[in-house]
Structure 1
Amino acid sequence: MDIVVTGANGFLGRHVAHALQAAGHHVLPITKQTSPSARSEMLRRADFVFHLAGVNRPDDPAEFTVGNVDLTELIATELLSYNPVPVVFASSTQALAANPYGESKRAAEDVLVVYGERAETRVHLYRLPNLFGKWGRPFYNSAVTTFCHQIARGEAITVTDPERVLTLAHVDTVVTSFLETLREDIGLYPSVEAHDVRLIDVVRTLETFEAMRQARGVPDLADAFTKQLYSTYTSYLPRERIVTPLTMHRDARGSFTEFLKTPDRGQVSINVARPGITKGEHWHDTKHEQFLVVSGEGVIRLRPVGMEEIMTFHVSGETLEVVDIPAGYVHNIENVGTTDLVTVMWVNEPFDPSRPDTFAATVDGQEVMEGGEAR
């Protein structure tokens, strides 16, 4: 389709335009810089219109009428004149409120209802709550955007009304619903999934994300809103924080580097072994590990504590396979190749220096504990 997107360079418009292009449609973008003649030409060609342009923070309240009502009337009039097509309109939950902004949005809705009746075509009026997501402008689009920007840069923040409850919808959720209207009639007032959350809880969650990043942690993303908020937060990281140096514990054998640590989902580390080097030679009471060799050639050996049988697994970066290291198994990994052996290691418990749960033993020998007792 040829699809007109008004406000195409705005927060919502930018997301919609990208989604339409990714779906194979041709976007006809209308912005403040578009001339009247170019706008008319695009409306003539349109198979569908997403009317997302509007005014929400003018210096003069009279601009609400010009930017929200008059522009909508102009678009509806032009479409009625030569090309009646379906229209999606980004209205606001404020449309039912008694304030200049809400009243202008409600008036624009009324214009489009009449347009739909006269054109005998579909109109979808989305009364959107506060939106959040990537590509927002700090200190303009939303409080969430501003807090993400500030916390990601270590700046001091001010929460003037911490108990205020925000109704928030993720921009990608809105865009997904928008694209559904290209295929079917989903009603005059479609709804989108939204979340009611206190402002202070948003701030605390964002601060938790930052603390976890510094500790190389990963938040619990089982909740849909938390997952959306985390994706939003990380999109505001400044250039200088995109790369995080890690501490590599190096010795003559290679290196060991902790990548991610979580209190409830374990730890991920990267182990490098030089050619001819064997690492490991220990076992754990409760730790369960998984080894994934991503480069080089190696051999992983396992032996149940107190038993003699040794299991041998040949591993290579040429064929990615995960080898489980169960609790109670003495194990090692040997580099039998000519290049470094690189292994991604996951363990179900993060390392705790006060309880390392690591007991020295050799795969081909006997487990000996402190004091010389066999175990």
Structure 2
Amino acid sequence: MRIAVTGPEGFLGWHLRCLAFSRGIACVPIARSLLGDPERLDAALDGVDAVIHCAGVNRGTDAEVTDGNAEAAGRLAEAVRRLDRPVRVVYADSVRRSDDTAYGRAKRRAAATLAGTGDTAAAFSDVVLPNLYGEHGRPHYNSFVATFCHEFAQGRRPTVVQDGEVALLHAQEAAAVLLEEAGASGRRFVEPKGEPRSVTETAALLEEFEVEYRDGNLPELTGRWRTTLFNTYRSHLFPARYPVPLTQHVDGRGALVECVRVSAAGGQAFVSSTVPGAARGEHVHLRKFERFVIVSGKAEIAVRRLFSDRIVRFQVDGADPVAVDMPTMWAHRLTAFGDQPALGFFWSNERYTPYDADTFACPVDDPSEAT
């Protein structure tokens, strides 16, 4: 399957592209500039089986919100009508569509526009998403979860202005529904359910993460809610909070370093040596937590966020052990250098299972997944 995604640099669009990459699905990014250029847009849509519409405007004046959403949906609908074959249209709608606000009205109008795109009127999925959270959400824009994570990352304690229960869905789960609908048939109205969590409960759990993690301790990583929220929180810390310093206890017998202190979790630990010039990794995880600690020798740890060409590099030395925790959806690699092998300790919160390894080949130095 070959899909096109509007809003590819946005929060949901980026998560969708990450999941598509992990599944080997060709994904054509449709930036806002393409929506305004019919000739280039038609060329971009050539050969796609489905279009997933994630682009939208949810902040600004009423006119900006209304016009921005209508314009994006209208231009996409026109492009689909110009194609000489049926293409499935999947719309990333919002639970706020029922609100009597500019945003709610704009979402309903966009859905109606996309649902009537000629031959695709019978090949349309309206996916009404609940409140989303996940890695690299924009504070004060995408969700209160992103705002709270940002505040804790900046050393501030966020204030809960209004409590209440909110249905929350991780962006990767939302992306999975959108991809499933891209391969569906017929006219469909889909409402994925989020997990009910209160605002104060979410803030309290994030504060627990902050208290534990500021000293290098790992919180309890059992259950999807705790793990996905912790990975979301960590995305707001990277790379400023890394590497994590570890205390080395030295006496006449030698040295001792505590590599992992975790409240409760399953997982797996292993040790490997890497000869100078050799590399390990060159892959990416969507959900798995991994900690790297070099206890002997020297190495470089390089990481790159998917669909970006910016590489963050850490030079680590076993003489002064530190921990570098791999952010989810960032390709990473460890390369040994110096005159002796690098001995590394690695810990993951999941045991390795070949049928669900959550490990996808991805070179750090080659952002080819973006093309």
Same fold, judged at TM 0.5 (above) = yes
Counterpart mapping for 1:157-196 below 5 A: 157-161=158-162, 163-185=163-185, 188-196=188-196
**Inter-partner Cα distance in structure 2 for 1:18 and 1:177:** 14
Task: Report the AA paired with residue 18 of structure 1.
Answer: C
**Inter-partner Cα distance in structure 1 for 2:264 and 2:29:** 47
Shift of 1:231: 1.1
Q: 1:250–1:175: structure 2 CA closer, same or farther, 3 Å change rule?
A: same
Map of 1:204 onto structure 2:
204
Shift of 1:149: 1.6
Shift of 1:31: 1.8
Q: Which has the higher contact order (CA 8 A, sep 6+)?
A: 2
Given the alignment of the two structures, is residue 114 of structure 1 paired with residue 143 of structure 2, yes or no?
Answer: no
1:132-156 CA deviation, whole Å, 9 max, x = no partner?
1112222222111121122123134
Shift of 1:5: 0.9
Map of 1:74 onto structure 2:
75
Map of 2:90 onto structure 1:
88
Q: 1:82–1:187: structure 2 CA closer, same or farther, 3 Å change rule?
A: closer
1:177-204 CA deviation, whole Å, 9 max, x = no partner?
2222243349612232412222111111
Describe the SS at the equivalent of 2:27: strand
**Inter-partner Cα distance in structure 2 for 1:3 and 1:85:** 10
**Inter-partner Cα distance in structure 2 for 1:211 and 1:4:** 42
1:303-342 CA deviation, whole Å, 9 max, x = no partner?
xxxxxxxxxxxxxxxxxxxxxxxxxxxxxxxxxxxx99x9
Map of 1:241 onto structure 2:
241
Q: 1:253–1:187: structure 2 CA closer, same or farther, 3 Å change rule?
A: farther
Map of 1:124 onto structure 2:
125
Map of 1:16 onto structure 2:
16
Given the alignment of the two structures, is residue 63 of structure 1 paired with residue 29 of structure 2, yes or no?
Answer: no
1:29-78 CA deviation, whole Å, 9 max, x = no partner?
2222324121232234432101111111123x122332222332332232
Counterpart mapping for 1:352-363 below 5 A: none
Shift of 1:18: 2.8
Give the conservation status (yes or no) of the 8 Å contact 1:95–1:105: yes
Q: Which of 40, 43, 61 is residue 42 of structure 2 equivalent to?
A: 40
Q: 1:225–1:94: structure 2 CA closer, same or farther, 3 Å change rule?
A: same
Describe the SS at the equivalent of 2:213: helix
1:184-243 CA deviation, whole Å, 9 max, x = no partner?
349612232412222111111001011111344332333322221111111111423121
Task: Report the AA paired with residue 128 of structure 2.
Answer: R
Describe the SS at the equivalent of 2:244: coil
TM-score normalised to structure 2 length = 0.66
Task: Report the AA paired with residue 5 of structure 1.
Answer: V
Describe the SS at the equivalent of 2:109: helix
Q: Is there any run of 5+ residues in structure 1 with no aligned partner, and where?
A: 272-293, 297-338, 347-375
Give the conservation status (yes or no) of the 8 Å contact 1:256–1:270: no
Task: Report the AA paired with residue 59 of structure 2.
Answer: R
Q: Is there any run of 5+ residues in structure 2 with no aligned partner, and where?
A: 272-293, 297-339, 348-371
**Inter-partner Cα distance in structure 1 for 2:57 and 2:91:** 13
Task: Report the AA paired with residue 107 of structure 1.
Answer: R
**Inter-partner Cα distance in structure 2 for 1:14 and 1:199:** 25
**Inter-partner Cα distance in structure 2 for 1:87 and 1:43:** 12
Q: CA RMSD in A?
A: 3.3
TM-score normalised to structure 1 length = 0.65
Give the conservation status (yes or no) of the 8 Å contact 2:91–2:127: yes
Give the conservation status (yes or no) of the 8 Å contact 1:256–1:269: no
Map of 2:25 onto structure 1:
25
Task: Report the AA paired with residue 69 of structure 1.
Answer: A
Shift of 1:260: 3.0
Give the conservation status (yes or no) of the 8 Å contact 2:220–2:265: no
Counterpart mapping for 1:334-353 below 5 A: none
Describe the SS at the equivalent of 1:49: strand
**Inter-partner Cα distance in structure 2 for 1:225 and 1:140:** 22
Task: Report the AA paired with residue 77 of structure 2.
Answer: A
**Inter-partner Cα distance in structure 2 for 1:73 and 1:238:** 38
**Inter-partner Cα distance in structure 2 for 1:343 and 1:16:** 33
Describe the SS at the equivalent of 1:181: helix
**Inter-partner Cα distance in structure 1 for 2:150 and 2:218:** 20
Give the conservation status (yes or no) of the 8 Å contact 1:137–1:145: yes
Describe the SS at the equivalent of 1:28: strand
Map of 2:289 onto structure 1:
none
Q: 1:138–1:63: structure 2 CA closer, same or farther, 3 Å change rule?
A: same
Describe the SS at the equivalent of 1:155: coil
**Inter-partner Cα distance in structure 2 for 1:67 and 1:343:** 50
Give the conservation status (yes or no) of the 8 Å contact 1:3–1:26: yes
Map of 2:337 onto structure 1:
none
Give the conservation status (yes or no) of the 8 Å contact 2:124–2:186: no
Bigger mean CA offset, 70-79 vs 164-173: 70-79
Q: 1:85–1:215: structure 2 CA closer, same or farther, 3 Å change rule?
A: same
